[in-house]
Amino acid sequence: MIESVDSCAYDLSNLDNLQKHLKEKLAGKRYLLVLDDVWNEDTEEWERLRVPLLYGAKGSKILVTTRSEEAAHIMRTSTTYYLQGLLDDDCWSLFCQYAFARDPNAFSDLDDIGRRIVNKCKGLPLAAIALGHRMRRVADRSKWEAILQDEKWEFSGGSSDISRAVSSSYQQLPAHLKPCFAYCSLIPKGYEFEKEFVVQLWIAQNFIQPSGGERIEDIGSYYFDSLVQKSFFQFSHFDYKSSRPRYKMHNLIHDFAQHVSREECCIAELGKPCNLSAKTRHLSLICDRFLRDNSTQSPLSNQRKNIFKTLYGYSGLYTLLLAGGSTTHEIRVPSNLAKRLERLRTLDLSNCGISTLPESIGDLKHLRCLQLRNTNIRRLPESVGCLYNLQILGLRNCDILELPWSTRNLRKLRHLDLHLDENSVMAQAAMSRGNSLRSMPPKIGLLTDLQTLSRFVVGTQHRCGLRELKDLNNLHGELQISNLHFVSKAAEAKEANLAGKRYIHRLELRWSYALGVDEEKVLDSLQPHTNLKELRIVGYGGASFPDWIWHSSFSNLVILSLSDCGKCEKLPPLGQLPLLKELYVKGIDSVKTVDCSFCGHDRRNFPSLQKLHFESMHSLQVWCGYDNCLLPLLRELVFKNCTGLRQLTHNLPSLSKLEIEGSPKLVGLRSFPSLQSLEVKASGDWTIGSPLTLPILRSNIVLKSVHYQGDCRT
């Protein structure tokens, strides 16, 4: 920095002298300093450098570019800007500067294929420049076609800017992250993935180094976040179906991952030559084209029957992932799979048309991860209980009828994922059949290492009841408990020890029907830990809710849903929950009036509530409240199929969205000064009285969105 403003020579061995000289050069002067491609993540190093920079005049600026989010966090004094890829037209323009610099018009016939090639850059400037250099003065269209088809075009030279940039990022990684990154080359290019899925793959391969008493899942999560912060993974979008964020790898990063893992990791496509070496330990087999071909006479149809046969020559495989499958095409796992691929640690058959596993699956003695997500599996063979090293059993979105009784033997099992996404095909199929998982297998409470048990179905047989949850206090994340109608005694509910499960953040308690038992005492005994963030109660048959549901100690509760609790005549005073943001009330038909008691006796008035939905509340006639019942932050209010609703006179100063569906008797509606969106859906004749329309018109409200569906007379 000193030499950039002064040509004099200085003693570079003395930091104090250098700081003194830099202070003198900057004192009282405005400057712009650009620090490009910073990798320092040491706070003390930055503080030492920062001291002389503070002597510049007001208005001086320092601009830092980095591929490390940690470096940005240490150095920033204002908002961090996350750079996105170039827009397609800008990326094309940059490419043209290097590829067609001399005579752009002479190559106009290559524009169409050129733009397709540039799309491979995914907006990355270095890639566009590298491609431009490579295609400079190349007029042969066949060579452009070859580049388009080349899967690893940017690493062919090894000395390009893009190669050096990605390589330098990789070299900066700590030793424990390098194998984790390289292993992710198994995820096919362009595929999105979840953090939990990747971390579990790492666990199965022993890539995560234990640290004290910290959970390996938490350490793996830190590994993953580090790769995100260093731009090896990037956020794609939030998947609302699974309630999880999804990530991806830029094509260039993915190609580099394949480059550094080429000795051990390989991606092959079924139907194409499979060039595995004896050193290959991890394999992804892409089945997209193979499963799209529906012809029974094609060569691919024959291979469908022998999908695993081509792999039998590679008995050293530790990982086998099937990618791009389809549940509509039946795939059979051969009975000799365990004999031919006996070293497997990870077997992922997700998203494929697999409905059965052979008994010989229990012979995979080294297997640690078995993923069967989104398959047609309904039962597992009893031999699964012989997989004594199994840590992960993934059955997400599988309509499982029953689990093997031998499940109790899987003492190393950490993750048993039985979750059904509400919008998944499998979940909808299970609901239509009404015969999904009926009970947990006996003695599942012996699996005390379990970190994930997304569903617990109460059974009536010995050692299948709610008491089996007693010692499973390491459970994390979500837990749905169903068939609670089989729990007839509060003591049994108490033994489940939900209050001791401090890591459960999402809990659903579900009754299918009432058996005349004392459900109020049962629900009272199911009080969870106060760390809970989301609670759903479905099918509860008691006349009232226990006090703990609205107790202010549940200060972390953000989402609450009460559904199909038909005997309850009054809603509990939920306004005392300090952080509650979303409240859903559905199918509580005995409630006729919602008044100030809903806000709570101390009138705390839902201090954080932003979204409130009432649905299928057929007896509800009036929602009223005094002026001090403000619900100050409520933004969205929905009444759906509340056919008896006549009056809505609550004061809601922040309400911006109001949706009313199927309330033909509504004649009273108060003015809402912040209303921006009004949506009314009606069926048949619906007469809306002037109290509904005139207050809105008279309050100077500027509606940004108005939607009406149905017949109306005003």
Strand ranges of the sheet holding 455-457, from the earlier edge strand across to the other edge: 455-457, 477-482, 504-510, 534-538, 559-563, 582-586, 611-615, 636-640, 657-661, 677-681, 705-709
Q: Residue 622 pLDDT more than 70?
A: yes
Q: Read off the pLDDT of each residue in 335-350 and give the average, rounded to a whole number.
A: 93
State which CATH number among 3.40.50.1100, 1.10.10.10, 2.60.40.10, 3.40.50.300 fits the domain covering 162-260. 1.10.10.10
Q: If you search the block for the tokens 């009606």, which residue do you land on?
A: 682
Nearest to 685 by CA among 659, 707, 658, 662: 662
The answer regarding whether domain 553-714 maps to CATH 3.40.50 reads no
Which residue ranges make up each domain of the chain? 2-75, 88-150, 162-260, 279-288+296-434, 438-532, 553-714
d(CA 463, CA 442): 5
Which stretches of 369-412 are assigned E, i.e. beta strand?
369-371, 392-394
Q: Which residues contact 481 (CB under 8 A, 6 or more apart)?
A: 456, 458, 466, 469, 496, 507, 508, 509, 510, 526
Q: Residue 503 pLDDT more than 80?
A: yes
| Strand partners of residue 33 | 62
Tens of pLDDT, residue by residue over 8-64, are 666 667 778 888 888 888 998 999 999 998 888 888 889 888 888 999 999 999 999
Q: Taking all residues of the chain, what is their mean pLDDT, rounded to a whole number?
A: 84
Specify the pLDDT at position 297.
46
Q: Read off the pLDDT of each residue in 263-267 and give the average, rounded to a whole number.
A: 91
> What's the pTM?
0.81
d(CA 647, CA 644): 9
Q: Residue 199 pLDDT more than 80?
A: yes
Tens of pLDDT, residue by residue over 375-407, are 999 999 999 999 999 999 999 999 999 999 999
With cut-offs at 50, 70 and 90, classify the pLDDT of residue 707. Answer: low
Q: Which residues contact 272 (CB under 8 A, 6 or more apart)?
A: none
CB-CB contact of 161 with 183 (8 Å)? no
Specify the pLDDT at position 269.
84
- The percent of residues above 70 in pLDDT, for the chain, comes to 84
Least confidently predicted of 559-568, 590-599, 684-693:
684-693
Tens of pLDDT, residue by residue over 77-128, are 888 888 888 888 898 888 888 787 655 565 667 778 888 878 877 788 877 8
Nearest to 252 by CA among 128, 98, 113, 66: 128
Q: Read off the pLDDT of each residue in 260-279 and give the average, rounded to a whole number.
A: 84
Q: Which residues contact 93 (CB under 8 A, 6 or more apart)?
A: none
Q: How far is CA 402 from CA 327, 396, 440, 442, 484, in A?
A: 20, 14, 7, 11, 18
- Map residue 103 onto helix, strand or coil: coil
Supply the Cα-derived Rg of the chain in whole angstroms: 31
Which phi and psi (to 5°) does residue 217 adopt? -65, -40
Q: Residue 204 pLDDT more than 60?
A: yes
With cut-offs at 50, 70 and 90, classify the pLDDT of residue 714. Answer: very low
d(CA 333, CA 312): 13
Q: Read off the pLDDT of each residue in 193-198 and give the average, rounded to a whole number.
A: 95
Q: Burial of 83 by CB count in 10 Å (0-12 exposed, 13-18 middle, 19+ buried)?
A: exposed
Specify the pLDDT at position 710.
57
Least confidently predicted of 35-39, 133-137, 244-248:
133-137
**CA angle (652, 653, 659) in 5-degree steps:** 50
CB-CB contact of 564 with 586 (8 Å)? yes
Q: Which residues contact 485 (CB under 8 A, 6 or more apart)?
A: 511, 512, 513, 514, 515, 517, 539, 541
Q: Burial of 68 by CB count in 10 Å (0-12 exposed, 13-18 middle, 19+ buried)?
A: buried
Q: Read off the pLDDT of each residue in 214-229 and give the average, rounded to a whole number.
A: 94
Would the CATH topology of 279-288+296-434 be identical to that of 553-714? yes
Specify the pLDDT at position 32.
93
d(CA 180, CA 172): 14
Amino acid at 676: Q
d(CA 611, CA 554): 18
Residue 477: how many other CB atoms lie within 10 Å: 17
Q: Residue 694 pLDDT more than 80?
A: no
Q: If you search the block for the tokens 């033997």, which residue do you land on?
A: 409
Least confidently predicted of 149-158, 222-231, 484-493, 564-573:
149-158
Least confidently predicted of 178-182, 283-287, 296-300, 613-617:
296-300
Tens of pLDDT, residue by residue over 572-613, are 999 889 999 999 999 998 899 888 888 876 656 889 999 999
Chain centre distance of CA 416: 18
Nearest to 86 by CA among 119, 131, 112, 130: 119
Burial 13-34 (b: 16+ CB within 10 A, else e): eeeeebbebbeebbeeeeeeee
d(CA 343, CA 315): 7
Specify the pLDDT at position 692.
45
Specify the pLDDT at position 484.
95
Q: Read off the pLDDT of each residue in 472-500 and give the average, rounded to a whole number.
A: 95
With cut-offs at 50, 70 and 90, classify the pLDDT of residue 331. Answer: confident
| Strand partners of residue 415 | 392, 452
Residue 6: how many other CB atoms lie within 10 Å: 13
Q: Residue 625 pLDDT more than 80?
A: no
Two structure tokens written together for 651: 């004061």
d(CA 369, CA 76): 41
d(CA 451, CA 462): 24
Least confidently predicted of 125-134, 301-310, 556-565:
301-310
DSSP state of 487: -
Q: Residue 433 pLDDT more than 50?
A: yes
CB-CB contact of 554 with 533 (8 Å)? no
Q: Which CATH architecture has domain 279-288+296-434?
A: Alpha-Beta Horseshoe (3.80)
With cut-offs at 50, 70 and 90, classify the pLDDT of residue 552. Answer: confident
Chain centre distance of CA 240: 8
Q: Read off the pLDDT of each residue in 434-456 and give the average, rounded to a whole number.
A: 92
Q: Read off the pLDDT of each residue in 669-678 and give the average, rounded to a whole number.
A: 79
CB-CB contact of 3 with 21 (8 Å)? no
Nearest to 151 by CA among 311, 272, 29: 272
Q: How far is CA 376 from CA 167, 427, 465, in A?
A: 42, 12, 27
d(CA 122, CA 113): 15
Tens of pLDDT, residue by residue over 346-362, are 999 999 888 999 999 99
